[in-house]
Each structure stands twice: as C-alpha cells, then as structure tokens.
Structure 1
Amino acid sequence: MHIHQLSVTYLPEQDRILMRINTTDGEEMRIWLTRRLMVGLWPLLSRMLTDHLLKLDSAGAAIDTADEELKKMLADFRKEEFLRQADFDTPYKEAQETRLPLGEEPLLVTDVDATPLPAGPLRLAFNERPASGSAPRSFQMEMEPKLMQGLMHLLEQALTQSGWRDPFMAAPVHEEAAADEDASGSRRPRYLN
C-alpha cells in the first residue's frame, strides 16, 4: 500500500478523531481514534518516532552517548526539517470512485501495534477487536519517518482541537455557592435535574 494523502479530523459530534488514508491505488482506509486509545498511543508514537529518528541519523554512534537534552534537540531539529518539507496546503482529495477495503463504516481502533523497521519505516497495525460476535478487522501500513512526522503533526492539531490534551479542571466556584447556604451555615442539597 502506497500512501498518497492523509487526513486527520476531530469530529466533535462523535467525540472522535477520523483518520483517512488515501492510497495511490484509489483506496481509502477510514479509522476512528478515541480519547481512550490516544491517551496511550500518543506518548508511544512520540517516543518511538524520536528514537527512530535518532537511530537513522548519520551521527548515530555519537548520539548514543549524548545526554537526553542533546538527543531531544537533535530529534526536534529533524522533525522541524521534515515539517518544512511537508505539504499541508494541498486539500485532501475526495475521489468519486474510492474503494473502501475496510467497508463503509470506519474501523474503530481498539489497539495499535507499532514496530520500527531496520530499513527506516515504521509499521503501524490498526486493529478493531469488537466485544460482540463481529469479526475483527485490521490493516497495517509502513510509513517513512518523514510521513510519520506529518501524521504526528496532523494528530497533534486534532488533539488540540479536541481538548483531550488539556488536564481536567476543577469546576469553577460561582457566587451562587454562597446563596446555597441556609441560615445555619450548612449547605442545602443541589440537584442537576
């Protein structure tokens, strides 16, 4: 499978991220990424991509002995270099005759197997293992580090839109809270419905 384009969009009405992969053969894979999945997947992919970029660097032997701050700086430099070369301006091409090998309904990803390959690409296997009696679905793709960094950039934009990366905040205290106290100073019960 040769990837032609990637699209990553947060859909608030679904509270999911829809990732679409368009191939040069006119196929489109559609997958749902949930918050629960991304909580574990995002740090894993970030760490794997950083480690993989450092191993592919021509100064690999010197990098192995470098401190963590230098490794992070080198990896960030490589990531920025990839992003400068990436094309984020060309809109995702909606084809009239797109074949959907996974079916009309996007794959609801329950787990991802990520493997760095020695030759350079990263292999990602997206799996849907439904709890019901439905047959499991999956597909895998190999991505060069440059394309993988582009995917990470698109995922980061979707995560920012979703607000999933923001910590859970405590509810703000309103002035009405003081009005909820009765004359004895104890709080009256409050109901939502």
Structure 2
Amino acid sequence: MLLRINTTGQEEFRFWLTRRYCGLIIQALNAHRSADPDVSAQSTPVAKKAVEAFKQEAANAEGNFEQAFQEAKTYPLGEHPALAQRLKYSIDSGLLALTIEPKEGRGITIKLDAKLNFNVSKLLGAAIATGEWQLEMDQTALEAPQGVVDRVIN
C-alpha cells in the first residue's frame, strides 16, 4: 500500500506499507483510542465500545473524505517511496506521535489527535479492505470477551 502524506508546507512524504506494517499501525491507533480518558473511564467493554463508536461517528461527520489528494511541490525524502520498516509511537497529552522510518535514512513523525486518529483509521480500513488484506482494524474484536476464558480440564 502506498502512503502519501502532505504537509501544510506543500511537502509530500511517500512510503510503501506492507500488510505486517499496517498491522503495527493498527495497534498504535487502537492503543491511542484506548488511552482516551472518555473511553478508559468506562467500566465495561460494551460501554467502552459505545463511547468509541460515538466518537468515531462524530469524527467521520467532520472529516472531508471527498476531497482529492493534492500533489505536493517538494519531496524531502525523495520522489520514490521508501519501504517503511520501523514504527515508533508514543501517546502524550492526548496525542499519538507516529514515527515512520525506512531501514536507512530519515523518516517522519506525525501527531494525531483523537479525531484525526478516527479519520486515519477509516482511510486505512478502506484501503485494507480494497487490498483484501484481512486485517482486523479493531484489535479488541479478536480478544475473548471479559469473563469468558477457554479452560482445559485434564
């Protein structure tokens, strides 16, 4: 998958993302959403999902998904996309800082607030579905519900 990111300064950064790398980005996005005080304050997984769904709906309503991608004027890392190989992330003051780096050379760090996280998740999810990569955007959907544990009896 080709990731193209433009800055307000008309700079474009391009990276190839593998299926595995997209899985790592999904983990970072989900960790950021889980750290949201409105979500983490909920006592049950169902309540957490409800708050997250409400915030997702609000972010999608405000997002502009119809505007075409605008070509940039400069390419600080080069015109040819680099293969993204290292991902670092941190969550501080409600912001997710994602650092995307190739094996060698410079990378970029982008900061996402909660609304932008939801918008990026929507775009990433659509691209993953188009590519038929069978990645689950919501990692909690893969976990067993709280209170249900598989048991082995000998």
Same fold per superposition (TM over 0.5): yes
2: CA distance, partners of 1:35 / 1:165: 9
How many corresponding residue pairs?
136
Question: Structure 2: 5+ residue runs without aligned partners?
Answer: 137-154
SS of 1:137's equivalent? coil
Question: Structure 1: 5+ residue runs without aligned partners?
Answer: 1-16, 130-134, 168-193
1: CA distance, partners of 2:97 / 2:65: 22
2: CA distance, partners of 1:20 / 1:166: 20
Name which structure has the greater RCO, CA cutoff 8 Å, separation 6+. 2
1:162-173 alignment, distance < 5 Å:
162-165=131-134
Q: Are positions 1:89 and 2:66 aligned together?
A: yes
Q: Report the Cα offset of residue 65 of structure 1.
A: 5.2
1:144-163 alignment, distance < 5 Å:
144-163=113-132
Letter in 1 for 2:90: T
1:173-192 alignment, distance < 5 Å:
none
Alpha-carbon deviations, 1:95-135, whole Å to 9, x = none? 4xx110111221211121111111x2210000111xxxxx4
Aligned with 2:25 (options 41, 49, 52): 41
Q: Are positions 1:71 and 2:48 aligned together?
A: yes
1: CA distance, partners of 2:69 / 2:24: 27
RMSD after superposition: 2.0
**Alignment match, 1:28:** 12
> Quick one: structure 1 residues 166 and 148, their matched pair in 2 at CA, closer, same or farther if it must change by over 3 Å?
closer
**Alignment match, 1:107:** 82
Structure 2 length as normaliser, TM-score?
A: 0.79
SS of 2:107's equivalent? strand
Query: Which stretches of structure 1, 4 residues or more, deviate above 6 A after TM superposition?
Result: none
Alpha-carbon deviations, 1:79-108, whole Å to 9, x = none? 11101110111111124xx11011122121
Q: Are positions 1:50 and 2:25 aligned together?
A: no
Q: Report the Cα offset of residue 78 of structure 1.
A: 0.5
2: CA distance, partners of 1:139 / 1:47: 20
Structure 1 length as normaliser, TM-score?
A: 0.64
2: CA distance, partners of 1:39 / 1:144: 20
Letter in 2 for 1:20: R
Identity of aligned residues (%): 28
2: CA distance, partners of 1:65 / 1:156: 25
